[in-house]
Amino acid sequence: MTDATTRAIPSALPPSEAELVEWQALSREEQLARYREVLQHPDCQRISASTMSDIRAEAQRRAAVRRG
């Protein structure tokens, strides 16, 4: 097994211990730069008529379906 280098970025998922340590080691400026990088990704540039409440409700519905 080889050591994989992690690059901590903001995520909706909880970070692994290694990602958390790396994130906390970054300066505030670098953390902000990584947030900006993620938020400027083309996937984040799409326009939607859905509200945050709509998106959350749909995510909860999908999670409930997966749980059975």
Give the whole-angstrom CA distance, residue 62 versus residue 68: 10
* Residue 16 DSSP one-character state: P
**Which two tokens mark 11?**
């995520």
pLDDT in tens, 37-67: 988 988 888 888 999 899 999 999 999 999 8
Residue spans of the domains in the chain: they are 17-67
Phi-psi region of 18 (alpha: psi -120 to 50; beta: other; left: phi over 0): alpha
pLDDT at 3 over 60: no
- pTM (2 decimals)? 0.58
Asked whether the beta carbons of 27 and 12 are under 8 A apart, the reply is: no
Residue 60's Cβ-count burial label (10 Å; 0-12, 13-18, 19+) is exposed
